Amino acid sequence: MRVLPNRVDADADSVERDLFKLVLTVIELIRQLMERQALRRVDEGDLSDEQVEALGQALLRLDTAMAELRGRYGLTIRDLDLDLGPLGTLLGD
């Protein structure tokens, strides 16, 4: 019984889009982890007011850049989420 086809039928555009989607998924995961870490540090009072402001601005710029990159290929944040089966989704809600 043959499981895999002899050839993968893929065009350059779909391969590029899928690779871009994978890269953005990894970046989004890291962005969310950074945001959670930043919020934890803010809640613990580890940062000065200036550091909180700078961190907020950096996260806002990163979020804006991610939205622009997703827009290039018509992707939504939901498109970047991976279903991990019984573990749920990679990016969560």
Specify the pLDDT at position 71.
Answer: 92
Residue 18 lies inside a defined structural domain of this protein: yes
Residue 42 lies inside a defined structural domain of this protein: yes
Residue 8 lies inside a defined structural domain of this protein: no
What range does the domain containing 43 cover?
A: 14-79
> What is the per-residue pLDDT across 54-89, written as a single tens digit (0 to 9) for each?
999 999 999 999 999 999 889 998 888 888 888 888
Residue 30: both structure tokens together: 């890291």
Task: Give mean pLDDT, residues 36-40.
Answer: 92
Specify the pLDDT at position 11.
Answer: 76
Q: How many domains does the chain have?
A: 1
The vertex-79 CA angle with 73 and 82, nearest 5°, equals: 135
Specify the pLDDT at position 4.
Answer: 58
